[in-house]
Structure formats: structure tokens, C-alpha cells
Amino acid sequence: MRVTLSLIKADVGSIGGHTKPSAEMIAEVERATRNAIDNGLLIDAWVSHTGDDIAILMSHTRGVNNTDVHQFAWQAFLDATAIAKKFGLYGAGQDLLVDAPSGNVRGAGPAVAELEFDHNPGTRPRPAESFMMLAADKCGPGAYNLPMFLGFADPMYCAGLMLPNMIKGFRFRIVDMDNTEGDSIIELSAPGDYYQLAALLRDNERFGIDAIFSRTFDVQAAAISTQRLHNIAGTYTGKDDPVAIVRNQGIFPAPEELVSAYAKAHYVGGDARGSHVMPLMPVSVNTPVTGMYCLPLVSCVGFSMAPDGTFSTSHVDFFDNPAWDAVRWKAQEKGYAMREQGWSGAAMLPYTELEYSGFRDTVTGLVNRFAFAHEDGRPARKDAV
Ligand code: 13P
Ligand code: MG
Ligand code: MG
């Protein structure tokens, strides 16, 4: 059978600031998914949150960008928004940027990661389907660039790349997220285009990995949401908070080969007002954003898939392990180090990236007041210059 995995997330309101959705909101989305399973739209679904974002993981047979599946998720988020409004929660409906999208919800605010594949357990090259979903809060889609690149292209992280199933490497589809006229993409393969990939992926704010494919088997390994809210809304409406689906084992990297790069707690754009450069902290799923600063967070949960496309009844939470406590401390230390220098230089995102936020208005207002000085150093009147 052909199975589609769809992961759609949105921030539609949170308690006490931008921390986490309420239990009532989560219950509402879970109720909606149970209905969608009962009426045959979905095979299975699982609802979670990472920080203030609700993520709906779904399996079905309707393909990617399916109107019914996307409209279902949109309606579930609208229902959760109504609850957020009822209780006066912060940012109710924040990521639902249009009134009513016709068709799929890409470009309407929610983050979407989807992929479709042949699901015939017991047969080669995929005798068993195992995959993980990642959800990140307080950061942009480029947060995944480095760890995905290392997991799928660098044998220092994935020694499995030296095995016959993977030695031809992987093909990366990369989106130029600054091009708002459409999906502007390039495909590059590792190992051949290794340095070209690095040249693009170093710029987390502009270029994002959108999909990864096995070159040996020509099947999709990963899907990542590369939608950028400020490009959609034309103004700052919250950070993009990307999600990803990654298939693992066998013809793909193993979970440990994929998650090891998160031990770097690498610096990404995000944190408070989406305007700082701060480390990405791996956390358990359903973790709220609290603590000093609001470090970018990423969760990673794994499932197996039964022959009928349903998920294993329990999941594995990859970052819920004492080994990751050390990484969390490291992230906090890196956060202190960066925030010690407050707004200065590398600690905040560059002006171009702040373009859509209120910081831009402040700076532009001041830039407009600059005027050439008289020769004796007295400031000239602007209209006299
Ligand atoms: P969210 O996108 O998670 O709502 O966060 C936005 C923000 O500005 C944090 O300070
Ligand atoms: Mg929010
Ligand atoms: Mg968020």
C-alpha cells in the first residue's frame, strides 16, 4: 500500500505567555483526530506539543497536499483557537494567517512536513517502517540544516554511510526561503556536492532542507517544513517553529546516527521575539518553554508502523534520556555565554532578518533622521543637506 505521513503544527494559543497550549486545547485536537480516524479520513494520528506549538502526526492513504487532510488539521486548529479565546490565552489563533485557505494549508501559516512511500512490511528494501518526528519551537526551519546534513552526509556522524545500502549517498532538496514567489528549489547530492551543500546550508535564515532522498533506492527519507511565517504574513507573527519527519534504519541512517548532531546544541536564529542567536536545546516532547531566556527547543519522537499503517501504540522519546541532560546543561551554558552580550553584534540576528519585526521600525526611524554634518562638525539640518 502507499502510505502518507503528514505532520502539521500550529501555535494557536498558550498559557501564561508563549509557553504551552492548554490541556483543553490538546484534548480538543485529540477528539478531532479520533473522529477523523473513525470516519476513515485518517488511518492513525498522534497529538503532542513542543513549547507552544501543537503538532498533529497523521498516517493516511490520500497523498501529500491532500485537501481533506489539510482542511481537517485547519479545522482542528480553529477549534483549539476557540478554546484559547474562551480562556483568554496568549496568541490565540496566532499561526492561522488567512481566513480560510482553500485546498491545502501550505502558505497559510501552519508548518507542514509530509512524505509518501510504499509500505509493504516484510519486503525489501524496507522490511519494517520506523520513523521519527521532530518539532522545534522558538526557531526557524534552518535549525535542522546542520544536524540533517551531518546525519545524512557525514560518516563521522553516520558511519552507516559506508555500507552498500547508503554508500551512494543522499539527494537534498533545498528551498530558497527568501523567494516568496513560489517554491524555489535546488537539488544537490552528497557526497558529490558536499561543499556546495555546506555553502548553502550555512545560511540557516535563507536556505532550508526541504526533503532528502536515498540515491540508491530513489525513495524519500525525510521531509521538513520550510514555510516562513514572516514571508507569508509580511510582518512578524511569531517564529516559524519547524517540524520534520525522518525515516530511519536499514536503507536510512539509524536513530543514533541522526540525533547525535543535536549534542552540539548549535546556535540558531530564534529565542525571544525570534530575534536572537541561541543554542538549540533537545527536550522531551510536551515540554513547555520556561526558564531564563526562551532557548530554542527541539523534540524527537519515534514510532514504528504496523502493516495497516497504524502507529505503534507507544512511542520512544529520543531526548528523554539522562545522556541528554548533559547536552541541556551545555545548551544553557552556551545560552548564558551568548546572552551575556545582550544585543551586541552576533548575539542578535542581522538587520535583514529583523526586517519584518518591530525592531526594523525602530532602526528605520533612526536611519531616516541621519544627516550629513557641516564641515565644523555641527549636525546639519536634514532638509539643508
Ligand atoms: P512563537 O513563534 O513560539 O510564538 O514565539 C515567538 C516569540 O516571539 C518568542 O519570543
Ligand atoms: Mg507562540
Ligand atoms: Mg512556537
What is the per-residue pLDDT across 23-64, written as a single tens digit (0 to 9) for each?
Answer: 999 999 999 999 999 999 999 999 999 999 999 999 999 999
Q: Assess if residue 369 is contained within a domain.
A: no
Q: Assess if residue 346 is contained within a domain.
A: yes
The model's confidence at residue 375, banded by pLDDT at 50, 70 and 90, is: confident
Any idea which of 30-34, 51-55, 98-102, 335-339 has the lowest mean pLDDT? Answer: 98-102
Does residue 355 register a pLDDT over 60? no
Q: Assess if residue 202 is contained within a domain.
A: yes
Cα of 136 to ligand 1 centre, how many Å? 11
pTM of the model: 0.95
Ligand nearest to C-alpha 271: 1
User: Is 236 labeled as catalytic in the residue annotation?
Assistant: yes
Any idea which of 35-39, 187-191, 300-304, 364-368 has the lowest mean pLDDT? Answer: 364-368
Q: What is the pLDDT of residue 385?
A: 41
Residue 307, sorted as left (phi over 0), alpha (psi -120 to 50) or beta, turns out to be alpha
Q: Assess if residue 121 is contained within a domain.
A: yes
Residues spanned by the domain of 163: 2-354
Mean pLDDT of 366-371: 92
**3-class SS string, the chain:** CEEEEEEEEECCCECCCCCCCCHHHHHHHHHHHHHHHHCCCCCEEEEEEECCEEEEEEEECCCCCCHHHHHHHHHHHHHHHHHHHHCCCECCCCCCCCCCCCCCCCCCCCEEEEEEEECCCCCCCCCCEEEEEEEEECECHHHHHHHHHHHHHCCCCCHHHHCCCCCCCEEEEEEECCCCCCCCEEEEEECCCHHHHHHHHCCCCCEEEEEEEECCCCCEEEEECCCCHHHHHCCCCCCCCCEEEEEECCCCCCHHHHHHHHHHCCEEEECHHHCEEEECEECCCCCCCCCCCCCCEEEEEEEEECCCCCECCCCEECCCCCHHHHHHHHHHHHHHHHHCCCCCHHHECCCCCCCCCHHHHHHHHHHCCCCCECCCCCECCHHHC
What is the per-residue pLDDT across 127-178, written as a single tens digit (0 to 9) for each?
Answer: 999 999 999 999 999 999 999 999 999 999 999 999 999 999 999 999 999 8
Counting from 1 in the atom list of ligand 1, the atom nearest the Cα of 14 is 4
Ligand nearest to C-alpha 14: 2
Cα of 186 to ligand 1 centre, how many Å? 29
What is the per-residue pLDDT across 78-95, written as a single tens digit (0 to 9) for each?
Answer: 999 999 999 999 999 999
Counting from 1 in the atom list of ligand 1, the atom nearest the Cα of 272 is 10
What is the per-residue pLDDT across 201-244, written as a single tens digit (0 to 9) for each?
Answer: 999 999 999 999 999 999 999 999 998 887 777 777 777 999 99
Does residue 369 register a pLDDT over 90? yes
The model's confidence at residue 361, banded by pLDDT at 50, 70 and 90, is: confident
Ligand 1, residues 97, 138, 225, 290: which to mutate, most atoms within 8 A of Cβ?
138
Q: What is the pLDDT of residue 235?
A: 75
Q: What is the pLDDT of residue 380?
A: 67
Cα of 101 to ligand 1 centre, how many Å? 23
Catalytic residue among 9, 11, 138, 240: 11
Q: What is the pLDDT of residue 209?
A: 98
- Residues, Cβ < 5 Å to ion ligand 2: 11, 18, 52, 91, 238
- Measured from CB, residues less than 6 Å from any atom of ligand 1 are 11, 18, 51-52, 91, 94, 137-138, 238-239, 241, 272-274, 294
Q: Assess if residue 281 is contained within a domain.
A: yes
Q: What is the pLDDT of residue 383?
A: 55
| Total structural domains within the chain | 1
Counting from 1 in the atom list of ligand 1, the atom nearest the Cα of 11 is 4
Q: Please, are residues 241 and 124 in contact by the beta-carbon 8 Å criterion?
A: no
User: Is 293 labeled as catalytic in the residue annotation?
Assistant: no
Ligand nearest to C-alpha 357: 1
What is the per-residue pLDDT across 267-325, written as a single tens digit (0 to 9) for each?
Answer: 999 999 889 999 999 999 999 999 888 899 999 999 999 999 999 999 999 999 999 99
Q: Assess if residue 365 is contained within a domain.
A: no
The strands making up 44-50's β-sheet, listed across from edge to edge, are: 44-50, 53-60, 2-10, 111-118
- Cβ atoms within 10 Å of 125's Cβ, excluding its own: 13
Q: What is the pLDDT of residue 384?
A: 47
Cα of 53 to ligand 1 centre, how many Å? 10
Q: Assess if residue 280 is contained within a domain.
A: yes
Catalytic residue among 157, 236, 262, 267: 236
- Indicate which residue's Cα is closest to atom 6 of ligand 1: 238
Counting from 1 in the atom list of ligand 1, the atom nearest the Cα of 238 is 2
Q: Assess if residue 383 is contained within a domain.
A: no
User: Is 336 labeled as catalytic in the residue annotation?
Assistant: no
Q: What is the pLDDT of residue 276?
A: 94
